[in-house]
A and B are shown apart, each in its own frame.
Chain A
Amino acid sequence: MDYLVAVLLPQLLHGLVFGAALGLLALGLTVIFGLLGVMNFAHGEFFMMGAYAGVAVIGLTGSFWIALLAAPLIVGIIAAFTEAATLRPLYRREPLYGLILTFGLALVLREGIRQIFGGDMRRIMPPFTGSTPLLGMTYPDYRLFLLAASSVILLVIWLFFTKTRAGIVVRAAVQDAEMLDGLGVDVRRVFTLTFAGSAALAALAGMLLAPVFTVYPYMGAEMILLAFIVVILGGMGSMGGSVVAAFAIGFAQSLFSLWMNPQRVAIAIFGIMLVVLIVRPRGFFGREGVLE
Chain B
Amino acid sequence: MSRAPGWRAVLTFAVLAALPALPFMSKYYLLLAFDALLFGAIAMSLDLLIGYTGLVSFGHAAFYGLGAYATAILLERGVHSLWACLGFAIVVVGLYALVVSYFATARRGIYFALLTLIFAEVVYTFFRYTQTFGGSDGIQGVPDAHLLPGIAIDTPLRKYYLVLVYLAVAYTICRVLVTSHFGRVLVAIRENEDRARFLGYNVQRYKMVVCIVSALLTGLGGAVYPIRSAFATPDLLLWTESGEFIIAVMIGGLGTLVGPVIGGAFFTLLRDKVSSYVDWYFMVIGLVLIVIVLFMPKGLLGFRRRLGFKQWRTTV
Contacts and interface: CB of A to CB of B under 8 A. Distances in A.
B297 A97 contact: yes
Nearest to B118: A270
Nearest to B193: A292
B262 to A, nearest CB: 18
Say which size band chain B's interface belongs to: 35 or more
A112 B282 CA distance: 9
B287 interface: yes
B117 interface: yes
Interface string B234-248: 000001100100110
Interface residues of A, number: 43
A225 B250 contact: no
Contacts of B103: 274, 277-278
B286 A93 contact: no
Looking at A96, A112, A225, the one whose CB has the most chain B CB atoms below 10 A away is A96
A124 to B, nearest CB: 25
Contact of B125 (A33, A106, A263): A263
Contacts of A86: 290, 294
Contacts of B289: 100-101, 103-104, 107
B38 to A, nearest CB: 22
A39 B113 contact: yes
Contact of A106 (B50, B286, B287): B286
Contacts of A278: 103
Interface stretch (A5-13, A61-69, A147-155, A228-236): A228-236
A223 interface: no
Interface in A98-127: 99-101, 103-108, 110-112, 114-115
Contacts of B54: 94, 96
A112 B279 CA distance: 11
A105 B286 contact: yes
A257 to B, nearest CB: 14
The A interface is mostly helix, strand or loop, or mixed, namely helix
A37 interface: yes
Contacts of A105: 286, 290
Interface stretch (B14-22, B81-89, B104-112, B167-175): B104-112
A232 to B, nearest CB: 6
B128 interface: yes
B110 A101 contact: no
B121 interface: yes
A263 B109 CA distance: 29
Contact of B56 (A96, A114, A291): A96
13 contacts: A33-B110, A86-B290, A90-B293, A95-B109, A96-B54, A96-B56, A99-B110, A104-B290, A108-B290, A221-B240, A228-B118, A266-B121, A267-B126
Given A90-B293, A107-B289, A292-B109, 19 more contacts: A33-B110, A37-B110, A96-B56, A101-B289, A103-B243, A104-B286, A104-B288, A104-B289, A111-B280, A114-B280, A228-B114, A228-B118, A229-B118, A232-B114, A263-B128, A270-B119, A273-B118, A277-B103, A281-B107
Interface of B: 50, 54, 56, 103, 106-111, 113-115, 117-119, 121-122, 125-126, 128-129, 239-240, 243, 246-247, 250, 280, 282-283, 285-290, 293-294, 297
